[in-house]
Chain A
Amino acid sequence: MKEFAKTQKVTYNLMSFTGFKSLLIFSLLIEGPKSYEDISNYLFNHPYLREKISIDTLRVYINSLKRIGCEVKRVRGEDKVSRYVITKHPFELKLTPEQIQMVIKVYKNIVKNMDVKEIVAMEHFLEKIGGYIQNDEFIGDIRKISMLKDIDIKLLEDLIDCCDKKEQIIISYNSPNSGEKDIELTADKIEISNSKIYLCGTGFEYKEYGSFLVSRINKIKEIKLNKTTPDNLKNFKIVYELECPVDKIQLNDNEKIIKKQKNKTIIEMNTSNDFLARQRLLEYGPLCTILEPESFKNEFITLLNDMKAGYYCD
């Protein structure tokens, strides 16, 4: 090897030429169908070999590859030239049943921690692995635990793209309340909540930010060339106080801290959707106090009183 490093010349003293040629032939045949001419020329042009092989020698190599477990097929094209290709070999990626089980288990463990892009990438990857190991059951088991099982992945990828570009789109949506309808919105982000995938954006009909179940979206009907902003878009500011250490607070994109105290933080939220805002603040329970606007605060108090009344009316 030292000699090779020095001179860059390969001699019979250095390596097994037969072994080397067999490795080259193997790699050529797994790439795709190759004729005798293709192989012989490749070996002749190889800087370490510079020699042609006879058709009989090639047959011996092919017989040897078959003997070690390769499936070598001969195909004849329209040009009537025979070409050889390896369709199966003993070095393919293989997974034992225990490994398959573990891959599924680990994916199941982490899938709820991944964002949509990561899930899409992971499922494409696992599908690729399923193809390599030629195991449809593996792909089926992955589907069973997948959050994408009821979703058209191509449509989801298109929606992700629309969100990245903040496109103004019209989607055909199968609403549980009003049936199939067209919804125009400015796509903002894809979000996972309770193992469901939502498209979030500002809707033109109600002029507020909202979320739409991706599994209910039939298709993207139109991507508008010229983006507009809905007239009279709802927008209001909610200021609330949160009683917990700052390091425990997880702000949403539409929130910012405006004041920090020892164990209390004042947060400002900008929103166009009072329903979503109410849900978020209700979840905090007694840790949260709405400071303004007064109207939203009063509605919130009424809601709490209604909830309380619901428990005493039986």
Chain B
Amino acid sequence: MTKKLTEKYNDSCIKLFEFIKMLYEGDVEFKKVIDHFSNGKYDGTSNTHVTLNKYLNAMKIFGIKVKKINKKYHLLSSLYKLKFNPDDIKSINILKEAGAVLPDGKNKTNFESFIRSLEMRFDESAKSLEQIADNTQNLNLSFYHSEMSEQIKQCEKYCQDKQKLEIIYTNDKGEEINLLCSPLETIYKKRKICLKVMGNNGSRVYEIPVENIKSLKQLPVASSTQSIPTTVVYRIKNRLARNYKLRDWERLDKMESDGSNIIINKDEDLNILINRLMRYGRECEIISPKFLKEEMIERINKTLENYSR
């Protein structure tokens, strides 16, 4: 190893690549660059700045884009390119737009620097593909819509602030609902972004699509930390029991001798859960809590009323 390092090398080549290394690590101040090329001996009169310009020109002619902004050099394109196909570019755009709605902070900065490190390595074809993707907006993910972006960021902030909220939102019927609650997190569901909250009365979880929120007010009261989401127990039978795939927030409690299964469900919006369990018809039955069982019976009765008119 020592032998190799004592072999003849080219100082200009090393200086240039070390400068590029610095640029890869982040923006580099002019003073640091000029010190680097003058071996720390720049006194303002030497011609190091001329040498620096020659190196910058060599990089420019080779195809590396470097920009000087506020006395700092900033690398815009990489020394070498990676190959990305149209599907890769689409995936990068999906990640990029999902990252754009992250709350400001270290995580967002980290994620953005990952995206930048990819974009910097785009070749000409990837660059034009990205432009086409930007223009066509073919991602079809509603939460990417810029008009909702601010609302989503606001919701993320409320979740971090951990203070109670007063929300007015519309339900499936289009009715306005007023809800006092504690914000939990923002989640992505069925191409919608939802604000997940814990209701003030009891421990009912709500997942409210951000687009359904009419108004949102932060209250000067801390979120309740004591509440535990309702646990729902239900039985599934026959074909459903054989084919059922547990959700991340569910577990199988018991397998009965008749082939039915008892499922324990925690942390799901009860309105969404009851809609889903209704779908299963005769093959599903809520065991507890009592209030949800009654809600299901009421729902069945109300549906039957539609046919008794």
Contacts and interface: CB of A to CB of B under 8 A. Distances in A.
Interface of A: 1, 4, 10, 14-20, 22-24, 26-27, 30, 48, 59-61, 63-69, 90-91, 93-96, 98-99, 102-103, 105-107, 109-110, 112-114, 118, 121-122, 124-126, 128-129, 132, 176-177, 194-196, 213, 243-245, 248, 263, 278-280, 282-283, 285-289, 297, 301, 303-308, 310-311
Contacts of B61: 4, 10, 15, 20, 48
Query: In terms of DSSP, what is the predominant structure of the interface of chain B?
Result: helix
B299 A285 contact: yes
Contacts of B8: 59-60, 63
14 contacts: A16-B57, A22-B10, A23-B59, A48-B61, A59-B8, A91-B20, A102-B114, A106-B102, A243-B173, A245-B174, A263-B173, A285-B275, A304-B303, A311-B297
B5 interface: yes
B55 A16 contact: yes
B21 A244 contact: no
B219 interface: no
Interface stretch (B88-96, B160-168, B200-208): B88-96
B69 interface: no
Interface size class of B (residues with CB under 8 A): 35 or more
Contacts of A310: 282, 285
Interface string B76-100: 0011101010011011101100110
Interface of B: 4-5, 7-10, 12-14, 16-18, 20-21, 24, 51, 54-55, 57-62, 64, 78-80, 82, 84, 87-88, 90-92, 94-95, 98-99, 102, 106-107, 110-111, 113-114, 117-118, 121, 141, 143, 172-174, 187-192, 239, 242-243, 245, 247, 275-276, 278-282, 285, 293, 296-297, 299-307
Chain A binding site: helix, strand, loop or mixed by DSSP? helix
Contacts of A96: 110
A310 to B, nearest CB: 5
Contacts of B59: 19, 23
B16 A16 contact: yes
Nearest to B296: A311
Contact of B281 (A20, A27, A118, A279): A279
Nearest to A110: B98
A114 B302 CA distance: 35
A15 B279 contact: no
Contact of A282 (B5, B58, B279, B302): B279
B148 to A, nearest CB: 13
B94 A19 contact: no
